[in-house]
Structure 1
Amino acid sequence: MPHPPHRRLALIDMGTNTFHLLIVELPEEGRTEPLVLLRTKVGVRLGQGGISKGEITPEAFARALHTMDAFQEEIELHQVTDVRATATSAMRVARNGPELVQTIFEHTGIRVEVIPGEREAELITKGVRQAVPLGNERNLIVDIGGGSVEFIIADEATIFWKQSFEIGAQRLLDKFFPDASGVMPAAAVAAEQAHLSVVLAPLVAAIEEYQPVGIVGASGSFDSLADMQIGQLRNEADLPPCTELAMSSFQESYRQLLNGNHEQRKAIPGILPMRADMLVVASVLFDFVLGVSGITRIRTSAYALKEGLLAEMMELN
């Protein structure tokens, strides 16, 4: 009898900025943790040029397809047995999102599930819990994506409140960030903060009600802030699951981001050039959250949606 092949999962998170691929081998007897075979990401910028108009541009459509073709090659190379692909904000709102889902299926055989914001928040929480010991303290989990931002108040066992807002970094960039100079003037910062104070009223109310004591930041913007803290750009495999982010480090990074132009920001150690402008509007958002919550303890989680999907699949096994 030939030995049955190991069960291998591929988990794909098709975000508005970045597509992630995680390939793992499920544990067999004697091993409790899945074995990570590949962890990679590609800056697809699916929302660039079109998210605020509710469409995926032809260029972004082509980048998405090219990336999924490359992911499919890795999936075949690693002899994967199960594939789960989720898509979030950009695909939720784009008129041609269903067309992209169909074209990806025709090209690769991968079925993409477009998930609502509430489900996204649940999966992010599951992922964060794998990386950050929340214990029985309530934490505010913040995931600033390109299209949407998820806020969750949770401890290790319970989600007390969660909401997804369509105010991701690409949308904020389109709305508040000046094109030409590459510098975000004080008036634009004030305009973004005024907008957030209206849109995020439910968050402010939830913070008052549940009184979280710490913040956990997940996904790209927070990976960048953790890299800026040590002045070194790390790839996904090198990021520790959880990082303590000093308030002084964030404030220094925020100052650098606000004072620089495009070129100066790209030169800051630890910044991915693709993220240089988005990080400005994301940091304004994060500074707003710090202001309304009064929280000073910040941790970052290298795990988010795809790790949540993995945790969920492990539970079902």
Structure 2
Amino acid sequence: MLIIKKYAAIDIGSNAIRLLISNVIIKNGEEPQFKKSSLVRVPIRLGADTFVNGIISSKNKQRMIDAMNAFKLLMNIHNVEKYRACATSAMREASNGKETIEEILQQTGVKIDLIDGQTEAAIIFSTDLTELIKNDHSYLYVDVGGGSTELTVFSNGEIINSKSFKLGTVRLLNKDKSKNEQWKSMEKWIKKNTKKLKRVSIIGSGGNINKIYKMSGKPPGKSLSFIYLNAHYTFLRQMSYEERVSELGLNADRADVIIPATKIYLNAMKWCDAKKIFVPKIGLSDGIIKTLYLNS
């Protein structure tokens, strides 16, 4: 017997807001399959408000309301039976974040959960990594967002430690005053939690590393080397913002944040002496879909 369920995830990040609609295909005696049906990404950069002014602007609040109304219509058209919307660091740190969430609920009927960094990491980590992870290896999972970077160390198939740092692409672009302290804290944490581990590899998550992987032309499942990523970082930095948009075809809201994102991944690799980074196509939206199914 075959059952197909439709679930949706709304990821309200610091650089963009995404709606992922997935089919969950359930067949007796087999593992469920998660197939993407639709993905919509809107470039509402909430972090540019929060990390500079500490508040979500009226303009972006209205854009969010419009986006949620549009997402609600799309979910109805797709016959989505269950959804979850999660907001991360930009909404979490905005002085009017909770007020904005309440206003969105009243005007659109879309309920938004405000999640902390550890919850975000746990949701992302719920995605299936079994094809990638080897039990005799150690990994540092690095998820780079607009407002924060979530780190998880695991070895022999078990989580060793995890932590969220206020280092994100939009935050770095806006010259956050605490960034030097955060860089030092992240370096210290990574070195402390990986120093006794051998053969550490990075698992990279986030839109920027996915874009870099796609640009590399590597087949799925293959890793990128530190040497390649470092060379690509140099290549990107040598280009102007306009060239990254016109010649590389990057979205306008990707062409600037891809530089600080790459720097975060490179530093993480350097601090745990990782020679390669794996880039599975997973993120918060995928984790939300998986947890909706597991909790149904």
TM-score, length of structure 2 as denominator length: 0.87
Match of 1:171 in 2: 171
**Identical-pair percentage:** 26
Q: 2:75, 2:134 → 1: CA distance?
A: 36
Q: 2:10, 2:113 → 1: CA distance?
A: 10
Task: Find 1:24's aligned residue among 22, 32, 35.
Answer: 22
Q: 1:277, 1:14 → 2: CA distance?
A: 19
Task: Indicate yes or no: 2:274 matched with 1:295.
Answer: yes
Whether the 8 Å contact between 2:153 and 2:159 is mirrored in structure 1 is yes
Whether the 8 Å contact between 2:200 and 2:273 is mirrored in structure 1 is no
Q: Across the two proteins, how many residue pairs are aligned to each other? A: 291
Change in Cα spacing, 1:114 to 1:90, as seen in structure 2 (3 Å) is same
Q: 1:289, 1:34 → 2: CA distance?
A: 30
Once the two structures are superposed, the pairs formed by residues 22-101 of structure 1 within 5 Å of their partners are 22-30=20-28, 32-101=32-101
Deviations for 1:122-172, whole angstroms, at most 9, x for unmatched residues?
Answer: 112122627x52121221111110011001112584211110111111111
Q: Cα distance, 1:259 vs. partner?
A: 2.0
Match of 2:134 in 1: 135
Q: Which amino acid aligns with 1:316?
A: N
Q: Which amino acid aligns with 1:134?
A: I
Q: Which amino acid aligns with 1:206?
A: N
Q: Cα distance, 1:50 vs. partner?
A: 3.0
Whether the 8 Å contact between 2:82 and 2:292 is mirrored in structure 1 is no
Task: Find 2:203's aligned residue among 209, 216, 223.
Answer: 216
Q: Which amino acid aligns with 2:168?
A: G
Q: Cα distance, 1:27 vs. partner?
A: 2.9
Q: What do you get for the CA RMSD once the two structures are aligned?
A: 2.7
Q: Which moved more, 1:111-120 or 1:193-202?
A: 193-202
Match of 1:237 in 2: none
Q: Which amino acid aligns with 1:196?
A: W
Match of 2:188 in 1: 201
Change in Cα spacing, 1:54 to 1:201, as seen in structure 2 (3 Å) is farther
Q: 2:140, 2:109 → 1: CA distance?
A: 38
Q: 1:138, 1:81 → 2: CA distance?
A: 38
Change in Cα spacing, 1:149 to 1:33, as seen in structure 2 (3 Å) is same
Q: Cα distance, 1:65 vs. partner?
A: 2.0
TM-score, length of structure 1 as denominator length: 0.82
Q: Which moved more, 1:298-307 or 1:19-28?
A: 19-28
Whether the 8 Å contact between 2:15 and 2:253 is mirrored in structure 1 is no
Change in Cα spacing, 1:302 to 1:193, as seen in structure 2 (3 Å) is farther
Q: Cα distance, 1:87 vs. partner?
A: 0.8
Higher strand share: 2
Task: Indicate yes or no: 2:271 matched with 1:272.
Answer: no
Unaligned runs of 5+ in 1: 178-190, 232-239
Whether the 8 Å contact between 1:22 and 1:36 is mirrored in structure 2 is yes
Q: 2:250, 2:231 → 1: CA distance?
A: 14
